[in-house]
Amino acid sequence: MLTLVSDVFLTPHFLIKGTVENKYTRLSQLLDGHRKRFLKIQDATLVDLKSRDRIQTPLLHINLDEVILAHEFLDNSSDASMAQLARHAEWNHRVRAFYTGALNLEVSGDIRPGCYEVTDHRRGRFFVIRNPQLRGVEWDGDDDLKLLSSLDYAILNRERLAYIYDFNN
């Protein structure tokens, strides 16, 4: 069984840490299946990306339209958690994805072929990128923001991305 530890969300203005309320499955599946506009985050900490000020609150409602990137921290000692991440076939498409707006963010990494397209069989609004490298967020000197520099995967909101450079097409 998976041990879900904590969740992280990146929006144009905040890094948000906490635990999704009533999470019953992996975060990527939950985000794609969530039918409400807001997701409830328990014990949330918001880190302002510019000022580094922190806000803590017992319950935060986050608008899914604001989410650029998400990640759930798993107990890596669980063989099941690593097996579930590895089940996806063909993670051989290297891409660079760009969000432009209040935060100019570039995420590069490996994806399943075509997963960012509406024609993808999943048709969800989120997709997973493995071994992500982020540019555009200055995380030096902030332990919370530094989490973004060492993620083994990230869940991207395809509707928030402005450009995708697919090295394979």
Q: What's the CATH number where 62 sits?
A: 2.30.30.100
| Phi-psi category of residue 90: left, alpha or beta, with phi > 0 → left and psi -120 to 50 → alpha | left
Task: Provide the pLDDT for residue 1.
Answer: 38
- Say how many domains are in the chain: 1
The model carries a pTM of 0.84
The pLDDT assigned to 103 comes to 85
- Determine the pLDDT at residue 86: 54
Residue 36: which domain range? 4-166
Quote the CA–CA distance of 10 and 32 in Å, as a whole number: 17
- Ramachandran region, residue 99 (left: φ > 0; alpha: ψ -120 to 50; beta: rest): beta
What stretches in the chain show pLDDT beneath 50?
1-5, 77, 79, 81-82
pLDDT tens per residue across span 95-135? 999 998 888 899 999 998 878 886 655 567 888 999 999 99
∠ CA 84-89-93, rounded to 5°: 120
60 Cβ neighbours under 8 A, 6+ residues apart: 16, 18, 40, 41, 44, 46
Residue 39 · residue 157 · CB < 8 Å: no
Q: Which pLDDT score is estimated for 4?
A: 39
- CA atoms of 106 and 119, how far apart (whole Å): 23
Q: Report residue 53 as tokens.
A: 């000020």
- End-to-end CA gap in the chain: 38
